[in-house]
Amino acid sequence: MADEIETPDVETPEAPDLEALQAELEKTRKALKETNREAAERRKKLEAYEKAESERQQAEMTELDRMRAEKDAADKRAEAAEARATQTLIRSAFIAEAAKQGATHPADVYALADTSGVEVGEDGTVAGVTEAVKALVDAGRIPLAGKAPAPKLDGGAGGVERPGANDTKLTPMELDLAKKLGISAEKYAQNKAALQAAQA
């Protein structure tokens, strides 16, 4: 006898039922539709969030730009104020030094002085003022108390006054009138002398 081969019992799967397959397909379609709907909602929410975040960043950047502009303006104002304070400090130092050296008009010295060698230190001390004022004194450009006045800059030869320029004497009544008119006694005297010269 020939060897017989035994075959194990294998269950053959049953052919799927058409209705079951359609039900499974419908169930999958519903799940896919629900997943797509949820994905669309999340995509819309993400877009809205990204838009809001972008607007917030732009507003923040605009605020940052505004703050930078305000800081720059404040820095410029501070620099200008510091420059004014430095000039006031230098001018005050010139006036004090001119008075110390005996100038009759200390406030005028600052306008006449060469300020290129003057420096203000970190501690607020002003250096170079003494030398600048001394140079003006040595050059005879500022009048000193107790010394002959500096030459007048009115075009007179060698600073000598013209004879007869201020020879006109004013009476107390004329002095009072000059005061009421708001002009100096010297100016009143010059006008009086000119009038007398024109009548002569």
Chain segment 4-44, per-residue pLDDT in tens: 666 666 565 566 688 888 888 888 889 888 988 998 999 99
What is the model's pTM? 0.43
- Over 80: is that where the pLDDT of 112 sits? yes
CA separation for the pair 115, 104 (Å, rounded) = 20
Please tell me the predicted confidence (pLDDT) of residue 146.
63
Q: What percent of the chain has pLDDT over 70?
A: 80
- Over 70: is that where the pLDDT of 118 sits? yes
- Pick 146 or 40 by higher pLDDT: 40
Torsion of CA 78, 127, 111, 103, to 10 degrees: 140
H or E element, residue 79: helix 18-100
What are the Cα distances from residue 174, in Å, to 122, 165, 177, 179, 193?
Answer: 56, 18, 5, 9, 13
Which residue has 């420096």 as its token pair?
A: 119
